[in-house]
Amino acid sequence: MPTYEYECLKCNHKFSVFQSINDEPVKKCEKCQGKVRKIFGATGIIFKGSGFYVNDYKKKPATDIKQTDASKTKKETSCPATAKT
């Protein structure tokens, strides 16, 4: 069961209520009995199971990266225009 946060519009008191999704939302402040509003916050998302781009975004081993960088450097440094014919 989730915990919902509320804020009183009259006294600005903030409080949390542990309630079911099917329960009626809280309508009155627990301190002053004023009208309350539900506060919506950011939530984290966790992807579990197969099919969530595990293979697409896998990091390459460090040896592959070094070899790729070394081959690029060799290609960039060699200049065909300066080669003697």
Confidence of residue 2 (pLDDT cuts 50, 70, 90): confident
* The pLDDT of residue 22: 92
Q: Is residue 80 part of a domain?
A: no
Domain count along the chain: 1
- Per-residue pLDDT tens digits for 16-73: 999 998 999 999 999 999 999 999 887 777 776 666 565 555 566 666 555 555 555 5
Looking at per-residue pLDDT, the higher value among 76 and 11 belongs to 11
What pTM was estimated for this model as a whole? 0.48
- Domain assignment of residue 53, yes or no: no
* End-to-end Cα separation, the chain, in angstroms: 79
Q: Please give the residue range of the domain that contains residue 22.
A: 3-39
Q: Are 36 and 8 in contact (CB under 8 A)?
A: yes
